[in-house]
Amino acid sequence: MNVRVARAAWARGCVAGCRRGASDLPLPPPRAVDVAELLRDATAAEEVPREAAARRPPGQCSVLLFPGQGSQVVGMGRGLLRYPRVRELYAAARSVLGYDLLELSLHGPQEALDRTAHCQPAVFVASLAAVEKLHHLQPAVIENCVAAAGFSVGEFAALVFAGAMEFSEGLYAVKVRAEAMQEASEAVPSGMLSVLGQPQSKFAFACLEAREHCKTLGIENPVCEVANYLFPDCRVISGHLEALQFLQKNASRYHFRRTRRLPVSGGFHTRLMEPALEPLAHVLKSVNVKKPLVSVHSNVDGHRYAHPKHIPKALVQQVVSPVKWEQTMHAIYERRRGTEFPKTFEVGPGRQLGSILKSCNLQAWKSYRHVDVLEDDGT
């Protein structure tokens, strides 16, 4: 299999598979045509080793970043609908989810779109639809992609893009994950707090004192811990609402420059999400996970997946583990002085990952582009 042609053909195989899987097979879970089989059919060319593709000049290569929950906004998808197969993606999603995701994405209301059960599938599908737009306008970006990473639920989209799982199976796993996390978040009043600190900020000590404060209020086994590593001195802390309120009130004590509550329903990426583990693990057992065609980096440790068998385990662990995005950015963009950086494309709603990249690696950010899902900007 010619790797470059296979990458260019990703969308053709993905959509054909999800279309057939969604219409022919019952839930749960839908099973689609094997993407690898479709990619093999797409080219009879002689196989090109991954190492040969890696020898292309770095400046000609590309990296795709897939956003996560919190990036959703009413109207997303509007800038994608004229591109081939995007409506087919949303039609397949309707069959998998059982409701009209495109209508919700385009017209809201925002309160419904913001629900964890809805926004995770919405961001997942919008991101892969954005890849369709990018593939149509700049096919060389897809052909020359060498790495992909996704923030939280975005990791599922990155894996589907890379051919590690089929669209319908990935979306169904996201559906189960989102509904289980929604239910877990409703069981305990909890949330997430974005914290911009300083070199002397004491994140671990602050979380410890917040947990001790919760114990004085009668809360047993309180949770307050770093859930996202974004960029130097910037973290997202998850836990009981009382713990987050304590941190906001005492921000100066821990040298926090700014704190902001995030508009999410629960303390994600902590043990508060443990009830969601079993449902997700169960559905992932039925997913045919394959070796990614490009390097995909795990949220759990920032490293690229070395073997397909590691993927389901890490996706389950990710639900209760911090997202190590800063570490992921270092792993993807670390290079010798003077070496060119790849072109980076954020595919999906929002530009948050671009902002984080700018704070992690300014030189890499200079080659960053965003694929707009709200307006047709021609990218």
Coil/strand/helix, residue 229: strand
Calpha distance 153→235 (Å, rounded)? 18
Q: Give, in degrees to the nearest 5, the angle at Cα 153 between 88 and 59.
A: 80
Separation CA 257–CA 235 (nearest Å): 12
* Cβ–Cβ under 8 Å, residues 353 and 65: yes
Say if CB 332 and CB 65 are below 8 A apart: no
Omega before 109 cis (within 30°)?
yes
The encoded tokens of residue 142 equal: 């897809």
Residue 176: name the closest of 98, 100, 104 by CA.
98
Tokens of 221: 């086994």
Burial 172-186 (b: 16+ CB within 10 A, else e): bbbbbbbbbbbebbe
Assigned token pair, 166: 């089929």
**CA dist., res. 155 & res. 170, Å (int):** 10
Residue 270 phi, psi dihedral angles, 5° rounding: -140, 175
15 and 85 Cβ atoms separated by less than 8 Å: yes
Q: Which residue has the tokens 């996560």?
A: 68
Give the residue numbers marked as catalytic. 152, 269
